Amino acid sequence: MKDDYLWDGSGEPDPEVQKLETALGRYRHNQPALAFDPVAEIRPMKRRWSLFSLRWSYPFGAVAAVVLLAAAVFLVLRSRPTGNAGPPWDVARLEGAPRIGRHSLGEKSGLGKLGIGQTLVTDSSSRATITLDETGRVEVDADSRLRLITNGPGRKRLSLERGTIHATIWAPPGEFVVDTPSAVAVDLGCVYTLHVDDSGAGLLRTTMGWVGFKLNGRESFIPAGAICQTRPKIGPGTPYFEDATAAFRGALSKFDFASSTPGERTALLGIILADARKSDALTLWHLLSRVSDADRPGVYDRLAAFAPPPVGVTREGILGLDRSMLDAWWTSLGFGDIYLWRTYERDWSQRPPNAK
C-alpha cells in the first residue's frame, strides 16, 4: 500500500512522497558531532579512589577518616532540600524603579539579586526582568508582586501574588512552577503569560508549548493559542482557544464559575456542545471529567466525532473516567505528551501548593 510507504518506507513506493523526499533531502542533517570533551568537564568522570591503596600511616589514616566522616556528615546535612541551594535570580530594570525588598533598582543600579523569600515589586511605572541561565527569563509587568519561593536544583518556584508575568522557560518540563492565589502553573516547555488580579483570579495564555494548571486535584492543560481562567477556591477553569465563539466562551465561563443548578449546567453544556468546533476538542476533553455522569455520554460523542479515540480507548472506559484512557486520548489530540505532566506532577504535587 502507498500509505505503508509513507509510514515506514515499506510497500509500494508513493511517487509523490519519493519526489518530496528527493527535493527536501538537501536539508537533511549532515553535521558531525561537536567535540564534547571541553563541556564534559562540567561533570567529570567518576574517579575510583581507594584509600588503602595509598601508603598512609595508620594514625594519619585514622585522623583523615574522622575528618572525612565529619565532612560527609556536614555535606549530607547541608544537602537536605532547603530550597535555597541555587544562585539568586538576576533582576534587571526595564522601566521605572522596581523594588526588591527595600532596595530600588534605578537607572544606574545595575543588576539586582532576588533571593529566597524576597519579593520583586513593580509599581504602575516600573517593569523588570528576572533571569536564571539554566531556567529561563520572566518579564514582570507594572503593578506586580512576585516572590521567589524555591530555588533548588531542578526546582524553581515563584509566587505571583498580583500582576502579570511573561515567562520564557527553557528548563526541562516540570522544573519551573508559579503559584497564584487560585492555581499553580507548571511549565511543560513553553512561553506563556500569567495574570493575577487583586481578587486572586487568574488568566493564563500560552504562546508556545503548553502549561499545566492545577489546584486541589483539578487539572487543566493549556496548549499554544489557548487560555484558561482561574478563580480562588475553585481553581483552574476549562481551557479554550481564543477564537472560540462568544456563545461558547460565555457558556463555558458560567459552567466553570457561576453558581448553577444541575439543570442550568446541563443547559450550558448544551450550548458548549452545539457551538464546539473541531479545534475545541481541547475543551471537550477537559469537560469529560468535569460534567455529571448523566452528561458525560454527550460530551464523549461530540469529542469522538471530532477526534476519534485512539486504539485501546473505549467508550465504557472514558465514561468510567479511566485515567490511562483519558491520558491516551489527550496525547492523541496532539497538544502535548501527557507523560510529561504525569511524571513531573507526581513529584511537585506531593508538596502543598502555596495557593490561598
Please give the Cα distance from 307 to 11 (Å, whole number): 28
Which residues 287-326 are close enough to bind another protein by CB under 8 A? 310-311
CB closer to another protein, 46 vs 78: 46
Residue among 328, 255, 257 nearest 292 (CA): 255
Binding test (CB under 8 A) with another protein, winner from 100, 105, 140, 169: 169
CB of 86 to another protein, least distance (A): 12
Please give the Cα distance from 189 to 210 (Å, whole number): 6
Of 20-28, 97-105, 246-254, 255-263, the segment contacting another protein by CB under 8 A is 20-28
Of 74-82, 85-93, 204-212, 284-292, the segment contacting another protein by CB under 8 A is 204-212
Of 4-12, 90-98, 117-125, 270-278, the segment contacting another protein by CB under 8 A is 4-12
CB closer to another protein, 114 vs 190: 190
Q: CB-based contacts of 72: which residues, under 8 Å, 6+ apart?
A: none
CB closer to another protein, 114 vs 226: 226
Cell of 41: 568537564
Please give the Cα distance from 65 to 47 (Å, whole number): 19
CB closer to another protein, 88 vs 173: 173
**Distance, C-alpha 20 to centroid of its chain:** 36
Q: Which residues pair with 202 in a beta bridge?
A: 196, 230
CB of 332 to another protein, least distance (A): 5
172 binds another protein (CB under 8 A): yes
Binding mask 328-347 for another protein (x = CB under 8 A): x--xx-x--x-xx--x---x
Of 27-35, 89-97, 103-111, 113-121, the segment contacting another protein by CB under 8 A is 27-35
Binding test (CB under 8 A) with another protein, winner from 8, 107, 293, 316: 8
Residue among 345, 276, 349, 270 nearest 306 (CA): 276
Which residues 51-70 are close enough to bind another protein by CB under 8 A? none
Please give the Cα distance from 108 to 113 (Å, whole number): 15
191 binds another protein (CB under 8 A): yes
CB closer to another protein, 76 vs 311: 311
Return the beta strands (E) in the chain as ranges: 89-95, 99-100, 103-104, 112-114, 119-122, 127-132, 136-140, 144-152, 155-169, 176-179, 184-196, 202-215, 218-223, 226-231, 235-236, 240-241
CB closer to another protein, 186 vs 269: 186
Please give the Cα distance from 129 to 135 (Å, whole number): 13
CB of 21 to another protein, least distance (A): 5
Q: Which residues of 230-245 are buried (b: 16+ CB within 10 A; e: fewer)?
A: bbbebbbbbbbbeebe
219 binds another protein (CB under 8 A): no
Between 296-306 and 281-288, two packed helices, what is the crossing angle to 10 degrees? 150
Cell of 117: 523569600
Tell me the CB-side half-sphere exposure of residue 93, using CA atoms within 13 A: 19
Binding test (CB under 8 A) with another protein, winner from 94, 111, 116, 170: 170
Residue among 104, 107, 112, 110 nearest 95 (CA): 107
Binding mask 120-149 for another protein (x = CB under 8 A): --------------x--x------------
Positions that interact with another protein (CB under 8 A): 3, 6-9, 16-17, 20-21, 23-29, 31, 33-34, 36-37, 39-40, 42-46, 134, 137, 153-154, 166, 168-173, 175, 188-191, 207-209, 224-225, 310-311, 328, 331-332, 334, 337, 339-340, 343, 347
